[in-house]
Structure 1
Amino acid sequence: MYKVLIADDEVLDLEGMRMFIPWTELGLEVVAACNNGFDAYEVLKDGNIDILVTDVHMPSMSGLELARKVQETEGCGDLRVIFVSGYQDFHYVKQALSLRAYSYVLKPMDDAELVEALVHVTKELDEVSRRQEEERQWREAARRSPHRHQQLPEPVELGKHTKLVQEMIAYMKEHLHRSLTLKEVADRFAFSPNYLGLMFKEEMGVGFSEFVITMRMEKAGELLKDPKVKIYEVADQVGYRYMPYFSRQFKETFGMTPIEFRRQR
Structure 2
Amino acid sequence: MPKFDADDYLPAEAYEKALGAFHAIVAILLFEFVRDKLGDRDTIIRNFIARADMMAQAVFRLWDLQDYQDCWILHRCLLDRLFHLWHLQQNDEFEVFEQWSFLEQYNAINRVRSDAEFSDALESKLFSLTPEQKERARALAKNPPAWQRPKGENAAKGLDMRFLYRYGYDFGSTHVHPMANDGQQDFYTITKLEPAPDFPDYRSVLSNTLLVATILVQQGLNASTLSWRALIFDFLDDLRNFLD
User: Does the pair score TM above 0.5?
Assistant: no
Task: Tell which has more relative contact order, 1 or 2 (C-alpha 8 A, sep 6+).
Answer: 2
TM-score when scaled to structure 2? 0.28
Q: Point out the structure with the larger helix share.
A: 2
Q: Point out the structure with the larger strand share.
A: 1
